[in-house]
Amino acid sequence: MRMMVLASGSKGNATIIAAGSTRILVDAGMSCRELMKRMALVGEYPESLNAILITHEHLDHVAGLSVLARRLKIPVFFTEGTHRAWVRMITPRTTMSYAKWLDNLQREKEARATDHLPAHTVATAVMESEPLVVDDPLEPECAEPEMDAEPAAPRVKDNPSFLPVVEYFRAGHGFCIGEIDVSPFTIPHDAADPCGFVFHARSESIKMAIATDLGYVPPNVKMALRGVDVLLLESNHDLEMLKDGPYPWSVKQRVLSRVGHLSNTACAEFLMRDYDGGAHTIVLGHLSAQNNLPELARLAAEQAIGERMTLLGNRVVLAGQDEPLEPICL
Ligand SMILES: [Zn+2]
Ligand SMILES: [Zn+2]
**Which comes out higher in pLDDT, residue 122 or 30?**
30
pLDDT of res. 159: 75
Tell how far the Cα of 197 is from the centroid of ligand 2, in angstroms: 15
Q: Is the pLDDT of residue 2 over 80?
A: yes
pLDDT of res. 177: 98
Tell how far the Cα of 273 is from the centroid of ligand 2, in angstroms: 25
Question: DSSP per residue over 83-147, as a string?
Answer: HHHHHHHHSTT----HHHHHHHHHHHHHHHHT--S-HHHHHHHHHHT--S----TT-GGGPPPPP
Q: Is the pLDDT of residue 264 over 90?
A: yes
Tell how far the Cα of 125 is from the centroid of ligand 2, in angstroms: 30
pTM for this predicted structure: 0.85
Question: 38-57: per-residue pLDDT in tens?
Answer: 999 999 999 999 999 999 99
Average pLDDT over residues 231-246: 96
Asked if residue 126 is part of any domain, the answer here is yes
pLDDT of res. 122: 33
Tell how many helices (H) and how many strands (E) occur in the chain: 12, 14
Report the DSSP beta bridge partners of residue 210: 197, 232
Tell how far the Cα of 152 is from the centroid of ligand 1, in angstroms: 35
Tell how far the Cα of 70 is from the centroid of ligand 2, in angstroms: 23
The answer to whether residues 77 and 171 touch, using CB atoms and an 8 Å cutoff, is no
Phi then psi for 286, rounded to 5 degrees? 55, 40
Q: How many CA atoms lie within 13 A of 273 on its CB side?
A: 10
Asked if residue 152 is part of any domain, the answer here is no
Tell how far the Cα of 98 is from the centroid of ligand 2, in angstroms: 24
Asked if residue 307 is part of any domain, the answer here is yes
Q: How many CB atoms lie within 10 A of CB 235?
A: 33
Tell how far the Cα of 211 is from the centroid of ligand 1, in angstroms: 11
pLDDT category at 145 given cuts 50, 70, 90 is very low
Tell how far the Cα of 272 is from the centroid of ligand 1, in angstroms: 24
SS3 of residue 29 by DSSP: coil
H-helix segments, 6-79: 32-41, 59-62, 65-72
| Residue 158 to residue 156: CA distance in whole angstroms | 5
Region of 313 (left: φ > 0; alpha: ψ -120 to 50; beta: rest) is beta
Of the candidates 95, 31, 93, 100, the residue with the CA atom closest to the CA atom of residue 66: 31
Question: 288-326: per-residue pLDDT in tens?
Answer: 999 999 999 999 999 999 888 776 789 999 999 999 999
Report the DSSP beta bridge partners of residue 196: 185
Tell how far the Cα of 144 is from the centroid of ligand 2, in angstroms: 28
Determine which of 56-70, 73-87, 115-129, 216-230 has the lowest per-residue pLDDT on average.
115-129
For residue 282, the domain's CATH number is 3.60.15.10
* Segments forming the whole domain that contains residue 285: 2-146+157-329
pLDDT of res. 109: 84
Phi then psi for 72, rounded to 5 degrees? -85, -15
The answer to whether residues 42 and 5 touch, using CB atoms and an 8 Å cutoff, is no
Question: 153-172: per-residue pLDDT in tens?
Answer: 444 456 779 999 999 999 99
Of the candidates 264, 216, 268, the residue with the CA atom closest to the CA atom of residue 236: 264
- Using DSSP bridges, classify how beta strands 195-201 and 206-211 pair: parallel, antiparallel or unpaired: antiparallel
Asked if residue 71 is part of any domain, the answer here is yes
Asked if residue 151 is part of any domain, the answer here is no
| Residue 97 to residue 279: CA distance in whole angstroms | 45
Q: Which residues surround ligand 2, an ion (CB under 5 A)?
A: 58, 213
**Which comes out higher in pLDDT, residue 149 or 79?**
79
Asked if residue 184 is part of any domain, the answer here is yes
Phi then psi for 221, rounded to 5 degrees? -75, -40
Average pLDDT over residues 164-181: 98
Tell how far the Cα of 82 is from the centroid of ligand 1, in angstroms: 14
How many independent structural domains does the chain possess?
Answer: 1
